[in-house]
Structure 1
Amino acid sequence: MLKFILRRIGASALVLLGASLLVYVLTINSGDPLKDLRESNVQNKQQLIDQRTALLRLDDPWYERYWDWLRGVGGCFTGNCDLGVTVNGVDVLGLTQQAASSTLRLVTVATLLAIVVGISLGILTAIRQYSGFDYSITFSAFLFFSLPVFWAATLLKEYAAIQYNNWIADGHYAPLTIVIVAVVAAFLLQAVLGGTRKRRLLTAAAVFAFVMITLFVFNALNWWREPMFGIGGVLVVSVAAGVLVTSLVAGVRNRRALYAALTTSAVGTISYLAFAPLLVNSPSWLLLAGLFVLAIVVSVGIGAAWGGYARKQSMLVTGITGVITSLLVVADILIAHWSSFLGIKSRPISTIGSQTPNFTGEFWEQVLDMGTQILLPTVLLTLVSVASYSRYTRSSMLETLNQDYVRTGRSKGLSEREVIVKHAFRNALIPITTIIAFDFAGIIGGAIITEQVFGWKGMGALFQDGLNAVDPAPVMAFFLVTGIAAVLMNLLADIAYAALDPRIRR
């Protein structure tokens, strides 16, 4: 495996070298970097032209400029990284760090959400092929996949930001609105779940009643402006998540794994009570990171203690349950600060920019501000990616479910959970792994339209500004980040192949 990895790294380095040369030549020949100055009427036009010519070294041969750029990139390995300067004399390394940080904030959350939701929906639609649920998800996937990104972004800004900000000032649903929402929810859920006519009617009636009661209660409590979740809510949702994870990974008949998950939920909730004063009064990113690592270690330890003959499964179950419980704790604290956040920022959902200028809130209000800034572009990228992931997963799962080894597993008496999770899903992941790897690398450099619509200064803006100015330094910095990301993700995909299918290791 080590030889394979080293061989791939060497080949990838050669590919990056050749591609960088091609991109550099194409960029410097894509236009005239002095065009704006030639058309200018300022008195010192010639002086400005001479300054830019000297700054970009336009009188030097292109291969000398490329070689100097390559030497600057090589200095990154010794701590003397030099990516050049822009036409305005701004250091490209600093711009790249800011742009990469902004883009990673945007695409990481969106990609992770798209992977989890898309693969889950793909598995469910494959299991329930040609059902109402399958048809509903298939229609939605094609709808979201075919939506023009700029148009969907405009709709999100109008209805999920502007109209929501107008509504949250009062924070109450009108009775007619509640009835309409309940009817729509009842119709959609009964169509998705399917079944006989009687079952559909019962489902619709139950959903209608639940939505009506919930929304009226939320109105009475002013929940939308002063939400509450509480320690009891954290415990209930954590226990439900633990049972769900156990049923998927080990099966609820595996009592050791189930008890380990329930213990993890209880310990996590009790720990929340113990650390609540620290989290509320003295929060910091370092503290959150440390507590998150501690939560994972304790959760895995609980799984090892309860595991017995199913130790590995129990550790996996408790590890996932611990992560979910930790996220629930953070969500509960954020919900508790929503009211104070509205007091500082009365229109919470932002439509442009990656941060609110001169925001004066405390730590948790700042976290909410960052979350509301990233919300709309994340939703947009997630919807587009979920559509493709769900389709690829469904196709791969259907192909795998028709294989002989799946039929053999069922004939041996394995439970449907074991057949789906251990046999079909693991083999179906191999082509999906390739898609995920290249999709993540592509989104890092390809969210140009999304960044433009929402005013994010990320890698897409860096590339576009450099190309418009015929400035090779920002374009090459863009290529460097996205190219390395593509190589690394491709390498991770190859390693994942070997982990998923032992035959590939040979």
Structure 2
Amino acid sequence: MLTFILRRLGSSLLVLFGASVLLYVLVVNSGDPLADLRESNADNREFLMEQRIRFMDLDQPWYQRYWTWLTGVGRCVIGQCDLGTNRSGQQVTDLLALAASSTLRLVVLATVIAMLLGVAIGILTAIRQYSGMDYAVTFLTFLFFSLPVFWAAVLLKEYLAIGFNDWIADPGFSWPAVLLAAAVLGVALQAALAGSARRRLLTFAGTFAFVCAVVPYLDWLDFARYPQLGPVAITLVGAAAAVGATALLAGLRNRRVLYAGLITVALGLAAYYATYALLWEPTWWILVGLLVVALALAVGVGRLVGGYSKGPAALVASVTALVMGGLMVVEQLFRSWPGFLEAKGRPISTIGSQTPNFTGTFWEDFLDKGAQLLLPTILLTLISLATYSRYTRASMLEIKQQDYIRTARAKGLGERQVILKHAFRNSLIPLTTIMAFDFAALIGGAVITETVFGWKGMGELFRTGLNQVDPGPVMAFFLVTGTAAVLFNLLADILYAVLDPRIRV
């Protein structure tokens, strides 16, 4: 395996080298970097031209400029990257650090959400093949996939930003809107749960009644402006997560796994009161530390209580701990929401990655950046969702026809074990390739998204460098996306052997 990795790295470096030479030549020959100054009537035009020539090394041939850039990239091995300067004399390394942090914050979140939702939807539609839900999901995923990015971005701005900002000033739900939402949710839930006609009707009726009762109650509480959660709701949701994770991963008959999840809920409730003051105004290091402690305790509980099912018990306890921790964070965000609305007025902006000169508490700043992240994340998630769901569905349908799946059913294994332990793991092999390339593809695809939403990220860096015939920013963009593509492709090859022991290099 080590020989294979080294060989792949060597060939990938050659590919990156050839692509970088080609891109550099195309950029430097795409226009005149001094065009704007040649047309200028400023008194110091000659000085500005000489200054730009010095910043961009325009007095040297392209191959010498490229070699200077390449040697600067080579210094990254020892932690001293030098990507040169742009035409204004700014260090490209500093610009890249700011742009990459902004874009990665967007792309990583969109990739994780699309992957989790897409895989779950793909499995569900494969199980419910040719059902009404399968056809509806197929239609929606292809609809989202085919939407023009710029047009979908405008729709999100109009309805999820401007429309929501207008609504939150005086929030309220009319009865026609409540009835419509209840009907849509009831139809979707009964299609997802399936079953007999009687079960479908009961699911629809229960969902319809629940929505019609809860939404007016929340409206009466003015929940949109003054949301609240509390320890009782956190405990109930945490217990539901423990039961659901147990049913999915081990089965409810495995009492030890269920007890591990419920014990984690009890510990989470105790942590709610113990860390309340600490979470009032935390730092990121405190949150990360609490996350590590929570997962360590959850794994310890799972291995201590799980008996012969230590692995599933630790996994269920970890999932429960993550849910409980996430609910505690949501509780703090709910408490900060009224102050955030008062400070900002219109919570969701349509331009930029954060509000300029916004000052607030830790959680209000979290809400500000999260609100700015909402629209572009939804857009990028919808774009990737169709790919993950369709590939998962196709792979699951193919795996279900294999002999070992029929053998597993013939041996009397439950459908949960057949789907999760046998079919799902093998269906991940083709998905691994998609996951590996999707991350790099999203960074490149974020160029349009960042332009529409006014994000100062990798897309802005690439577009500015290209418009100004400045190879420095463009090559920095290529360096990140190209390296990401190579590394994730290599990671996919390694994961093949992990997922399927039959695959060996």
**TM-score band, normalised by the shorter chain?**
over 0.9
In structure 2, what is the equivalent of residue 102 of structure 1?
Answer: 102
In structure 2, what is the equivalent of residue 260 of structure 1?
Answer: 260
In structure 2, what is the equivalent of residue 347 of structure 1?
Answer: 346
Question: Percent identity among equivalent residues?
Answer: 59
Matches within 5 A, 1:450-469: 450-469=449-468
Shift of the 192–100 alpha-carbon distance from structure 1 to 2, 3 Å rule, reads: same
**Residues 155-200 of structure 1 deviation map (CA, whole Å, 9 limit, x = unaligned):** 1111111111111111222233323333333344445555555444
Greater mean deviation of Cα atoms: 119-128 or 185-194: 185-194
In structure 1, what is the equivalent of residue 375 of structure 2?
Answer: 376
Q: Does 1:333 align with 2:300?
A: no
AA paired with 1:252? L
Aligned mates of 2:251, 2:177 — CA distance in 1? 41
AA paired with 2:428? L
In structure 1, what is the equivalent of residue 277 of structure 2?
Answer: 277
In structure 2, what is the equivalent of residue 149 of structure 1?
Answer: 149
- Alpha-carbon deviation of 1:412? 0.8
- Alpha-carbon deviation of 1:39? 2.6
Residue 253 of structure 1 aligns to a residue whose secondary structure is coil
Aligned mates of 2:78, 2:217 — CA distance in 1? 62
Matches within 5 A, 1:90-169: 90-169=90-169
Aligned mates of 1:193, 1:304 — CA distance in 2? 33
Aligned mates of 2:219, 2:46 — CA distance in 1? 68
- Alpha-carbon deviation of 1:27? 1.2
Shift of the 419–266 alpha-carbon distance from structure 1 to 2, 3 Å rule, reads: same
Aligned mates of 2:396, 2:376 — CA distance in 1? 30
Aligned mates of 2:415, 2:177 — CA distance in 1? 42
In structure 2, what is the equivalent of residue 366 of structure 1?
Answer: 365
- Alpha-carbon deviation of 1:327? 1.4
In structure 2, what is the equivalent of residue 324 of structure 1?
Answer: 323
In structure 1, what is the equivalent of residue 303 of structure 2?
Answer: 304
Q: Does 1:21 align with 2:18?
A: no
Greater mean deviation of Cα atoms: 471-480 or 5-14: 5-14
Q: Does 1:437 align with 2:436?
A: yes
Aligned mates of 2:365, 2:467 — CA distance in 1? 35
- Alpha-carbon deviation of 1:261? 1.3
Shift of the 108–175 alpha-carbon distance from structure 1 to 2, 3 Å rule, reads: same
Residue 503 of structure 1 aligns to a residue whose secondary structure is coil
In structure 1, what is the equivalent of residue 290 of structure 2?
Answer: 291
AA paired with 1:157? K
Residue 360 of structure 1 aligns to a residue whose secondary structure is coil
In structure 2, what is the equivalent of residue 500 of structure 1?
Answer: 499
Aligned mates of 1:422, 1:456 — CA distance in 2? 42
In structure 1, what is the equivalent of residue 228 of structure 2?
Answer: 228
Query: Is this contact kept in 2: 1:132–1:192, CA < 8 A?
Result: no
AA paired with 2:214? T
Residue 276 of structure 1 aligns to a residue whose secondary structure is coil
Residue 351 of structure 2 aligns to a residue whose secondary structure is coil
Aligned mates of 1:397, 1:268 — CA distance in 2? 36
AA paired with 2:79? G
Aligned mates of 2:253, 2:188 — CA distance in 1? 33
Aligned mates of 1:125, 1:323 — CA distance in 2? 27
CA RMSD of aligned residues (A): 1.6
In structure 2, what is the equivalent of residue 404 of structure 1?
Answer: 403
Aligned mates of 1:323, 1:495 — CA distance in 2? 28
Residue 504 of structure 1 aligns to a residue whose secondary structure is coil
Greater mean deviation of Cα atoms: 426-435 or 189-198: 189-198
In structure 2, what is the equivalent of residue 67 of structure 1?
Answer: 67
Residue 184 of structure 2 aligns to a residue whose secondary structure is helix
Structure 1 residues without counterparts, runs of 5 or longer: none
Query: Is this contact kept in 2: 1:437–1:493, CA < 8 A?
Result: yes
**Residues 438-484 of structure 1 deviation map (CA, whole Å, 9 limit, x = unaligned):** 00111123211110111101111111111111111001111111111
Taking structure 2 as the reference length, the TM-score comes to 0.97
In structure 1, what is the equivalent of residue 40 of structure 2?
Answer: 40
Greater mean deviation of Cα atoms: 46-55 or 370-379: 46-55
AA paired with 1:158? E
- Alpha-carbon deviation of 1:228? 0.8
In structure 1, what is the equivalent of residue 314 of structure 2?
Answer: 315
Shift of the 298–395 alpha-carbon distance from structure 1 to 2, 3 Å rule, reads: same
- Alpha-carbon deviation of 1:225? 0.6
AA paired with 1:51? Q
Greater mean deviation of Cα atoms: 451-460 or 333-342: 333-342
Structure 2 residues without counterparts, runs of 5 or longer: none
Query: Is this contact kept in 2: 1:132–1:194, CA < 8 A?
Result: no
Shift of the 319–202 alpha-carbon distance from structure 1 to 2, 3 Å rule, reads: closer
**Residues 383-410 of structure 1 deviation map (CA, whole Å, 9 limit, x = unaligned):** 1111211111101100011111101110
Query: Is this contact kept in 2: 1:133–1:193, CA < 8 A?
Result: no
In structure 2, what is the equivalent of residue 80 of structure 1?
Answer: 80
In structure 2, what is the equivalent of residue 237 of structure 1?
Answer: 237
Shift of the 488–470 alpha-carbon distance from structure 1 to 2, 3 Å rule, reads: same
Query: Is this contact kept in 2: 1:303–1:315, CA < 8 A?
Result: yes
Matches within 5 A, 1:46-57: 46-57=46-57
In structure 2, what is the equivalent of residue 424 of structure 1?
Answer: 423
AA paired with 2:35? K
Residue 358 of structure 1 aligns to a residue whose secondary structure is coil
Taking structure 1 as the reference length, the TM-score comes to 0.96
**Residues 216-248 of structure 1 deviation map (CA, whole Å, 9 limit, x = unaligned):** 101111111101111111111111112222222
Aligned mates of 2:88, 2:315 — CA distance in 1? 52
Shift of the 316–345 alpha-carbon distance from structure 1 to 2, 3 Å rule, reads: same
Aligned mates of 1:106, 1:345 — CA distance in 2? 22
Shift of the 202–314 alpha-carbon distance from structure 1 to 2, 3 Å rule, reads: closer
- Alpha-carbon deviation of 1:362? 0.5
Aligned mates of 2:261, 2:166 — CA distance in 1? 42
Aligned mates of 1:340, 1:480 — CA distance in 2? 42
Count of matched residue positions in the alignment of Structure 1 and Structure 2: 505
AA paired with 1:376? L
**Residues 363-382 of structure 1 deviation map (CA, whole Å, 9 limit, x = unaligned):** 11111111101011111111
Greater mean deviation of Cα atoms: 159-168 or 245-254: 245-254
Residue 30 of structure 2 aligns to a residue whose secondary structure is coil
Aligned mates of 1:207, 1:274 — CA distance in 2? 36
AA paired with 1:171? P
- Alpha-carbon deviation of 1:58? 1.6
